[in-house]
Amino acid sequence: MSLPYLQPYFGLGNSLQTAQAGGAGSVGGWVELARTTLGSAGDTITVSSLPDKRYYMILQSEIPSGEIFGKGRFNADSGNNYSTRYETNGATDSTLTSFNSLVNYPAPTSGAPNFSTTYVSNLSNKEKLTIHQAISQNTAGAGTAPTRRHGVSKWSNTSSTITSYSANNGGSGDFASGSEVVVLGWDPADTHTTNFWEELASVELGSSNTVIDSGTITAKKYLWIQCYYKSTGGAGTGDLEFNSTGGTGTAYAERVSSNGGADGTSVSRPDIEVSAAGNTNNPKFINAFAINNASNEKLVISNSIEQNTTGAGTAPQRREGVGKYANTSSQITSVQITRSGAGSFDSGSFIKVWGSN
């Protein structure tokens, strides 16, 4: 199933649509521009010589040696030229103005791996605007919920484009070896066939079922998961699990907010709640990212929308959250959306999984 209505927003481009139709890609989606992976402990991860692209996506994976949180900076600018509005663990918004970095890192937790995604709008004569979400594993194990941060920032530079990005540790420890920053770029004029995101699975239900299963996928360090589902036969929601480890298992923990409300946490649970608030039959769409290192807990950032009652007279419902899969021995090789509540997922519901190393 082609998703042309999602391609401009997510930067998938016509190459994905063409590939799904069986042809060779020509117009590029997200392409890897540069990455830096630490070979030894340090306090800075810098990605430089970035070409001018209209949009950037930054994937930031921080492995700890002590307390860490990576403050983002563009073009080595450490002046007080940034401002941010953010919320931490669902609390009231906080603001930092005339600050020396982006606040695109999770709430600091000593000794816990972090993962964040940041979207950047990059025009030379405009302030650079970012949207970011971040998760910290918190204490290891499914018995402790992760922490999260969600916010927006701006860099007040209006005279140049972005040419470098750095994560600068503001904690008392170090980024350990293996910590990494990957910068992707997308531009409407791009032409290439080297998309960073490789489609690993695309499954559409031909009849109703209580599971939407990707089947076995190639293990990749970064995963991008999308699911759209309709319901039949009763009201229910969809939950995320990996490697068919849900059911009565206890390998997951989560922190979620519904419709802007206070965060709720749930630990030692069989899955991660990712579908929007509302135990109804209304259609739902889920978008999630995961960091998938074999020896670390798998960290997930998710957003979802529920249509709610049809028509413009009723606002949709939303959920944002983070979760972790407390597996530290192997990678994710399959993804499931499982039914919670009554009924089933209707035919036409689908899951798509992209990945990259």
Same domain, 232 and 252: yes
Same domain, 132 and 241: no
Integer Cα distance of 33 and 7 in angstroms: 20
Same domain, 63 and 108: yes
Same domain, 295 and 350: yes
pLDDT per residue as tens digits for the range 65-79: 988 888 899 999 999
Which range (34-43, 130-139, 231-240) has the least confidence? 231-240
Is residue 143 included in any domain, yes or no? yes
Q: What are phi and psi of 20, to 5 degrees?
A: -65, -25
Same domain, 155 and 41: yes
Q: What is the pLDDT of residue 132?
A: 95
Is residue 94 included in any domain, yes or no? yes
Same domain, 261 and 177: no
Residues sharing a CB contact under 8 Å with residue 91, sequence separation 6 or more, in sequence order = none
Residue 332 or residue 283, greater confidence: 332
Angle, CA of 38, 108 and 274, to the nearest 5°: 95
Cross-sheet strand order for the sheet of 236-242: 211-213, 335-341, 236-242, 272-273
Stretch 23-30: mean pLDDT, rounded? 60
For 276-302, b/e burial (b = at least 16 CB within 10 A) is bbbebbbbbbbbbbbbbbeebbbbbbb
Q: What is the pLDDT of residue 181?
A: 97
Residues sharing a CB contact under 8 Å with residue 173, sequence separation 6 or more, in sequence order = 64, 65, 66, 67, 68, 110, 111
Instruction: Label residue 243 by pLDDT band (50, 70, 90).
Output: very high
Q: Is 247 left (phi over 0), alpha (psi -120 to 50) or beta?
A: left
Number of domains in the chain: 2
Is residue 166 included in any domain, yes or no? yes
Q: Would you call 245 exposed, middle or buried from its count of C-beta atoms within 10 A (0-12, 13-18, 19+)? A: middle
Same domain, 317 and 215: yes
Is residue 10 included in any domain, yes or no? no
Same domain, 215 and 345: yes
Is residue 62 included in any domain, yes or no? yes
Q: What is the pLDDT of residue 248?
A: 74
3-state helix, strand, coil split of the chain in percent (to 5) is 5, 45, 50
Same domain, 256 and 338: yes
Judge whether residue 93 has pLDDT over 80: yes
Q: What is the CATH number of the domain that holds 326?
A: 2.60.120
Stretch 208-212: mean pLDDT, rounded? 94
Same domain, 174 and 282: no
Q: Would you call 21 exposed, middle or buried from its count of C-beta atoms within 10 A (0-12, 13-18, 19+)? A: exposed
Could you list the residue range(s) of the whole structural domain that residue 158 is in? 31-186
Q: Given 153, 186, 219, which residue is the final one in a domain?
A: 186
Same domain, 232 and 305: yes
Same domain, 213 and 308: yes
